[in-house]
Structure 1
Amino acid sequence: MKVELHADDWLLTMSLVGLKRLFPEEAEAIPTGIRFDMSHLEDITDRYFNYLLNNYSIAERENRITARSLSRIGSSTDTFKEAKKQVQKRMTDQLKKIVKYFPDLEATAELENSLEVVKKIKKQEELPLLEEKKDIYIETLRTEAIHDKLTLNFAKSVILSPLFGQVSFLNVVHNSKTISEQKEIMEKDYIRPAILETKWLELLNNETDMEKLRQFLEDHNDYKPFKNWLKVAKKLDTVTQMKTYMEGNIPPCILLEGQLGTGNFEEMIFSPLGTSLDKSLNFSWNLNKKQPVPLSALGRLILFMVPIGASVYQRKIGFGNQSEYENFYGFLYYNDHFANVYQTNNHYRSHRLNENPFEEVIIDVLQESTSKAQYKKQEYMFIEFHSNYDSKKTLLDYYHMPAYITEFFLQSGKTLRWIHRYEYREAFIRSILDGKDPKQILFRYMKEVVNSNRDGINILMAVRERRRFQLLKKGVADVKENSKIVYHTFKQGQSLRRNLLGEQKAREAAMKGVYTAGGDKRIRGIAYRLLNASKAGHRKNFLDTVYRLYLGADMEIPTVLLNVLHERDADFETITSAFISGLLSNDNIEQENGVKEQ
C-alpha cells in the first residue's frame, strides 16, 4: 500500500525530509511531498538506529575535539598545559562510561593505563607521548561495542530526548540494554501501531466482509484502540455501519490527511510545540478533554523523524563571559518542489557539519538554491529552535526571508566576515534575518572595538552592510551608489585622525619629559563620547564634540556632518558610525586589506 504524505508546513516538511534521508531511493519525491510504500515501515527502526550511529559517532566527535585542542599548542607552556588538561578530562569522562558498561574488555584496561600515563605528562617535550595516548583513546572509542553503546546514549540524551522526553527507548532505564533490545522497544511503541492503523484503514476502505474486519481487530486486540473498536464491531452487521461509526466517533489526524486520530499531540510527542493535556482545552476537538489534539500513530512516527530532517548544531547565546552554547535544530523552508527543499536542506546540513561560519552557510545555501531556480528569488523561512524537555523550555525562532533579505546575502553578505568577533557577526546577521535594524548590535560591536584597541576598519564594513540592508528593505535600486556616503564619511574621520595625531606628536616634542596621553588613547576617548551620543540619538551633543575637534584642528567641518541634523545624506546612525570608524582607523590598515569604496 502506498500513501502520499504532503509537506503542508515546515514541521511536516522537516519530518518528511528526515524520512527521505532514511529512504533516499525508496521514498519517491512528488511536488508536494513524498510517495511512500507502507511496507517500508518495517525497515525504519534499523535505518533510524544506523543513522544515529553513523552521524553522531562518539569516536569521530572526540577525535575532532581532541585533535583541535592539540593543534592549538604553540610555543607557550600555558597552551600545552591547557590542551593536556582538556584531553585528560575528556578521556576521564568517557572512561567512566566505558567502565560502567564494559569493565572486563581488554580495550578498557588499555585506556585506563593510557590515562594514568597522561596524568603524569608535565612537559611540552612529551607532546608526542600525549598524541600517542590520545590515539589509543580514539581507537578504544572505535571498538564496536563501546562505540555503539556510547554513541547511541549520546544521541538519545543530546539529540532526541530534548524533543521527546524519555518516552519509549529514550528512557534512561533502557540505556544498559543492547541495541537489539532498544530496537524492539521502538518497534512496539512507534512502528507496530503505525502499521496496524494503516492496515486497518486499507481493510476498511477495500473490504466488504464485516467478518474479516472483526477478525483483524480480534487478532490484534492487544492494541488499545482496536480493543475498543472490537466491542463496537461485534454489534454491527456491515462494513458501511463500521465506517459510519468511525467517521462519527474517531477524529481525523491533525497532521496527516486520511489518518485516524487515535492519540494526542502532546509534550512527549514533540516537546517544542506540544502541550500537556490539561492545558490543551483551547485546542480541544469537539471539547473532548481526553483527546484535545488528535494524532495518528503514523503522524507520531513521522514527527519522530524531525531530528533526522533537521540540522543539529551548537549555537552561542550571548556575548563574552555572559554567553553559553546550546544545541539548536535548524531548517530552511520555502514554497517549492519538495525535491528542491530536500536538496537545499542537505546542502545546509553539510555546511553545518563542516562547522562553517553562519553567514557563509546562509550565503552558500542561497546561492545554490537560487542558481538552480535560474536566479528566481524565493521567499525563505529559516526555522531554528532549541528545546529542553526537562525544564519545559523552548526557544523557537522563525526568520522570514523575503526577497530583499535574500538579495542582501547574495550581493554583499561575504563582507560581514570583517566583523571579526563571531558572536557579534552572528548577532548582526540574525537581526537582518529577522528584518530588524542591526544598529544595536553595531553599537555594541563599536564599543568592543574601542575598548579592545582594534582598528576601526572593522566597524566600517558593518556600517556599510547595515546601510545596504536599509536601502534594499526600502526597495532602492542603486544600492551601490547610495552606499558611497558611508565610505566618504569614513574618509573624513580618517583625515581628522591624521591631524589629531600630528598635533599630538608636536605636543610631545614641545613637552619633552612631561607625560602626555598617547594620541591613539586620546582619540579612543573621543570616539567613546561620540559613540555614546550616537547611541542615545543626541545629535546636538555629537555635533558639539565634532565642532570642537575641527576648530581645534583648524579644519573645515565637512558638509556631510553639518547635514546630520536633518539626515539629508543618510540616517544619523550611519553617518556617526562611519565617522567614528574612520576616526579609529589607520591608513595603512586600509591599504593592507584592500578596502575601497564599492
Structure 2
Amino acid sequence: MKIKVYLADWFYNMGIVGFRRILKFQEDYRSLKLSDFEYQEADNYIEFNPDLLKEFHNYYFDYFLGRYNMARFQSIQLDKYLNLSKKEGKFNESIKVIKDIVKANNNKIKKIDETVFTKAEEIYKSLGDIKRQEQISELEELLLKYKDILELKNINEKITLNKFKSIMSNSFYGQVSFFNVIHTSKTIVEQKDIMFKDYISPIITMEELKTEINENRAGDLEERISKALSDKATPKNIGKLYKNINSKFIKKKKSLEEIEQYIGGKDFALCQMCGEYKSIGSEYGEGDFVPLAVSTDNSRNMFWNFNTSVPLCDICKLILICSAAGATDIFKGYMNANLDNKYKQYFAFVNMDTTFKDLYKTNESFNLKKDKENPFKELIFDIVSEAKERSTWQLQNILYVEFNSDYGSKNCKMNYFNIPKYIAQFFKAKAEVVNSIKDEKFKAEIVDDILSNKDIKFSIDRKLREVLANNYGNPYDCYRAVVIRYYLKVSKGGIKKMATEVDDKRLKFIYMRGLELNKHYTKNGGENKISSIAYRLLNAAKSNNKKEFMDTLIRIHLNAQMEVPTIFLDIMSEKELAFEEIAHSYVAGLISKASSKKDSEENEN
C-alpha cells in the first residue's frame, strides 16, 4: 500500500518540498533510485512505497550535513579574510578576525578530539607570529593546514551536526526528539536512531500492520506484537496500540477484520492536518513547527470548549520535521545596521496555487538566489520575464512567507506577502525601473516595502539623508525610487498612459533643476550650503509643510538668480504629482554630483 501526501497549507507544503529536497540530495550525491520505491508526483500530491522511509533518517542527516557543511563555510570565511589581508591597510584587522575564527573553532574541536585539538592549537599559536603583510605566504600555508583539519570527517561532522541542530531547534522544532540538548554528546548514529524511533518507525510499523491484516497473516501479526511489547525501543504510541490489540483482540481470539475496524474506528481520531490518516496518540504542539506553535496546556482559553486536542498522524509529523529542508535561509543585510545579525536571519518559502512540480521548481529557483540581497525580488523578475498573461497570473497567486523565530524567547516575526493585482501589473510593466537601481541593498529595501504594502517615501527620505550624512552614495537611485512610487500609484489608480508619460518627464525635469542648482553652487564656491538646504527641504517634505518648502525653494532660486519653474506650483495643488515626489526628485538632483549626472545621462540613452 502506497503512502499519499497531498498539498495543503503553506507550512505543510514547505515540508513536502523539504521531503523532496532530501530525496533529491540522495539521488544526486548517493545511489538512491526513487523508481525502486514507486515514487510519483501528481498535480496535488506525492506518493511512494513505505519502504522508502526505512533509510530516511540517514537521508535526513546527510542532507543537513551537506547543507550546513561547516568546513566549507569556515574555509570560505578564512579565504575571504586572507584575501582582504593582502589589501593595503587591511592586514591587522584581517589577521585578528582570522585568529578569532580559528580560536572559536578550536574550542569546539577540543570537545571532539584532543589529538586533533593539539595540532589545531599549534596553528593558532603560529598565527600569533604573523605580524607583517610580508608574511602572507606563511599565513596561506598555515590556513591550508587548518582547513585540512576542519575537513576531517569526525571534526566536520560533529561541528556541522551541532550547528544544524541549533538552527532547527531554535527556529523550527524546539527541544523535541534528537534536537534536545541532552542528546548533544551522543554519536551521530545514536541520534539517527532517535529520529528513526520518533518519526519513522511508527509509520513503517502501521503500514506493516495494515499489510499483515490485509493479507490475512494473523501469525505474523501476533509475533510482531509479542516482540514489540518486550522491546524497550518500541515507540510509546505504538506500544500502547499493540497492548490494546493484544488484550482486546488477540487474547480474546477475535478476527483480523475486527482489529482492522478498531484501528480505523472512532477510538482513533482523524488527523486534523491532512484528514487522510489516523492519529495514533500524537497531537500537534510546540515541537512540530515553532513559528506557528501554541502551548495548548497554557492556552486552553483560546480553544473552543477548552478542547486543546489537535490530533496529528505520524506521516504529517514526518512531513513537518522536513519543513526546515523546504525553507530557504535568507539574510536581510539591508536592515538596520545596529540590529544584531540573528534578527536579520530569516527563513522563507514561496507558496503557489499550482502543481507540486511547479511549486518545487519555483522554490528551487528561489533557493538558488538566496545569496542575493533580495532573492524574492530576483524570483519576481524571473517570473515577469515570461509571457505577460501567465506571469501576471502567477504573481497574483503567490504567497511569500518569511519568518525569524526564536524558541528560547517564544518570539516569532513572520511576514506574509500576498501580491495584489496592481502590484503584479506594476512588476510586469515596470520591472526594469526597479532593476535600474544600482545600490542592491536599497533596491532590496524598496522591493520589501512594495511587497509589504508600505509607502516607499520613508525609505527614499532615509536614503537621501544617508547620502547627505555620509557624502557617499548615488542620489539618482532615489530619483529612480520616486519614479517607482509614482508608477505604483498609477497601477493602483489606473491613470491614463499619456498622463503617466507626461508626469514621468516632469519628475525628470524637477530632478534636473535640482542638479542645475547644485552646479551653480559648486561653480560659485557655495558647495558647503547644499547640505543645509537639502536638509531643510527634506524636513519640510517629511512634515508636509508645503509653505516652508516653497519659501526655501523661492529663496534659493532668487539668490542664485534663477527662475522658479511653474511646475513647482503642483506642490500646492498636487493635481498630478504628489508633494513628496516633487520634493524627493528635487533633493536627489540637488545633492547629486558629477558621477550621478553621468549616470542619469546614461540612463536616458
Give the TM-score of the pair, scaled to structure 1. Answer: 0.88
Partner residue, 1:167: 176
CA offsets 1:382-423 (integer angstroms, 9 cap, x no match) = 111111111111111111123443444455446556666655
Instruction: State how 1:382-461 maps to structure 2 within 5 Å.
Output: 382-413=400-431, 415-416=433-434, 423-454=441-472, 455-461=474-480
How far residue 335 of structure 1 moved from its aligned partner, in angstroms, is 1.1
Partner residue, 1:308: 325
* Aligned: 1:98 with 2:113: no
Q: Alignment RMSD, CA only?
A: 2.9
Partner residue, 1:6: 6
Instruction: State how 1:123-522 maps to structure 2 within 5 Å.
Output: 123-200=132-209, 206=214, 219-221=227-229, 222-230=234-242, 233=245, 234-235=247-248, 237=254, 239=257, 243=261, 246-261=264-279, 262-281=281-300, 287-289=306-308, 292-316=309-333, 318-322=335-339, 324-326=341-343, 327-352=345-370, 355-358=371-374, 362-364=377-379, 366-367=381-382, 371=386, 375-377=390-392, 378=394, 379=396, 380-413=398-431, 415-416=433-434, 423-454=441-472, 455-476=474-495, 478=497, 482-502=503-523, 504-505=524-525, 519-522=526-529
Q: Distance in 2 between matches of 1:245 and 1:42?
A: 23
- Size of the aligned set, in residue pairs, is 575
Partner residue, 1:536: 543
CA offsets 1:546-584 (integer angstroms, 9 cap, x no match) = 122222233322122111111122111111111111111
* Aligned: 1:547 with 2:554: yes
Greater shift, 334-343 or 474-483, is seen at 474-483
How far residue 160 of structure 1 moved from its aligned partner, in angstroms, is 4.4
How far residue 520 of structure 1 moved from its aligned partner, in angstroms, is 2.4
Residues 1:298 and 1:124: Cα distance change in structure 2 (over 3 Å): same
**Contiguous gaps of at least 5 residues in structure 2:** 25-32
* Aligned: 1:64 with 2:76: yes
How far residue 200 of structure 1 moved from its aligned partner, in angstroms, is 4.3
CA offsets 1:448-488 (integer angstroms, 9 cap, x no match) = 11212235323212212222222223345636565333212
How far residue 228 of structure 1 moved from its aligned partner, in angstroms, is 4.1
Decide whether the 8 Å contact of 2:439 with 2:477 is kept in 1: no
Letter of the aligned partner of 1:101 in structure 2? I
Q: For 1:382, what is the secondary structure of its paired residue?
A: strand
Q: For 2:111, what is the secondary structure of its paired residue?
A: helix
Partner residue, 1:561: 568
How far residue 39 of structure 1 moved from its aligned partner, in angstroms, is 1.4
Residues 1:476 and 1:138: Cα distance change in structure 2 (over 3 Å): farther
Q: For 1:66, what is the secondary structure of its paired residue?
A: helix
Partner residue, 2:85: 73
Letter of the aligned partner of 1:182 in structure 2? Q
Decide whether the 8 Å contact of 1:419 with 1:458 is kept in 2: yes
Q: For 1:263, what is the secondary structure of its paired residue?
A: coil
Letter of the aligned partner of 1:131 in structure 2? E
Greater shift, 446-455 or 9-18, is seen at 446-455
Q: Distance in 1 between matches of 2:95 and 2:435?
A: 31
Q: Distance in 2 between matches of 1:250 and 1:594?
A: 72
Q: Distance in 2 between matches of 1:117 and 1:230?
A: 62
Residues 1:384 and 1:201: Cα distance change in structure 2 (over 3 Å): farther
Letter of the aligned partner of 1:484 in structure 2? K
Decide whether the 8 Å contact of 1:497 with 1:584 is kept in 2: yes
How far residue 43 of structure 1 moved from its aligned partner, in angstroms, is 1.9
Decide whether the 8 Å contact of 1:87 with 1:134 is kept in 2: no
CA offsets 1:288-347 (integer angstroms, 9 cap, x no match) = 44xx21111111111000111111233337423345344321111111111011011111
How far residue 263 of structure 1 moved from its aligned partner, in angstroms, is 1.1
Q: Distance in 2 between matches of 1:126 and 1:213?
A: 72
Residues 1:147 and 1:4: Cα distance change in structure 2 (over 3 Å): same
Q: For 2:580, what is the secondary structure of its paired residue?
A: helix
Decide whether the 8 Å contact of 1:310 with 1:331 is kept in 2: yes
How far residue 145 of structure 1 moved from its aligned partner, in angstroms, is 1.4
How far residue 62 of structure 1 moved from its aligned partner, in angstroms, is 0.6
Decide whether the 8 Å contact of 1:560 with 1:569 is kept in 2: no
Q: For 1:431, what is the secondary structure of its paired residue?
A: helix
Decide whether the 8 Å contact of 1:533 with 1:541 is kept in 2: yes
Instruction: Using the aligned pairs only, state the percent identity.
Output: 27
Q: For 1:72, what is the secondary structure of its paired residue?
A: helix
Partner residue, 1:22: 22
How far residue 149 of structure 1 moved from its aligned partner, in angstroms, is 1.3
Greater shift, 269-278 or 476-485, is seen at 476-485
Letter of the aligned partner of 1:391 in structure 2? S
Partner residue, 2:65: 53
Decide whether the 8 Å contact of 1:16 with 1:309 is kept in 2: yes
Residues 1:209 and 1:323: Cα distance change in structure 2 (over 3 Å): closer
Letter of the aligned partner of 2:480 in structure 1? M
Q: Distance in 2 between matches of 1:306 and 1:539?
A: 52
Q: Distance in 1 between matches of 2:364 and 2:159?
A: 26
Decide whether the 8 Å contact of 1:16 with 1:33 is kept in 2: no
Q: Distance in 2 between matches of 1:401 and 1:46?
A: 39
Residues 1:247 and 1:540: Cα distance change in structure 2 (over 3 Å): farther
Partner residue, 2:30: none
Q: Distance in 1 between matches of 2:221 and 2:572?
A: 81
Residues 1:217 and 1:287: Cα distance change in structure 2 (over 3 Å): farther
Q: Distance in 2 between matches of 1:189 and 1:285?
A: 30
Q: For 1:120, what is the secondary structure of its paired residue?
A: coil
Residues 1:299 and 1:174: Cα distance change in structure 2 (over 3 Å): same
Residues 1:285 and 1:18: Cα distance change in structure 2 (over 3 Å): farther
Partner residue, 1:511: none
How far residue 96 of structure 1 moved from its aligned partner, in angstroms, is 1.4
Decide whether the 8 Å contact of 1:450 with 1:524 is kept in 2: yes
Q: For 1:272, what is the secondary structure of its paired residue?
A: helix
